[in-house]
Amino acid sequence: MVKYHHIKAALKNKKELLECARQLGVVGDATRLKICYLLCRYPELSVGDMAEILGTTHSVVSHSVKKLLKLALVKRRKQAQTVYYSLADNAFNKTLKGFIA
């Protein structure tokens, strides 16, 4: 219908909606969701810590964390040779914490 054309156009170009869809897609993966859950419970963890807790390899965790970093869902802090990850402070993670915390 023609009368909804402007609403459809607005939804299609809403940067916030597109970003949220990407973020939901990323945390839709079980491993990445588990990583987010861990980071909700513990302020900072290394890849090694997360791999041990999740019973998986460093490679799997590193790959998952890289995707979370790309969408600014996690942040990192390096101390000596170890990199620690934590949830980024953003609206998406606040909502996520409400769901899984």
pLDDT surpassing 60 at residue 1: no
Q: Which two tokens stand for residue 69?
A: 């970093």
- Domain count within the chain: 1
pLDDT surpassing 80 at residue 17: no
Residue 8 or 83, more confident:
83
* CATH for 61: 1.10.10.10
Please state the pTM of the whole predicted model: 0.79
Tell me what the mean pLDDT of segment 54-77 comes to: 95
Domain that holds residue 11: 2-100
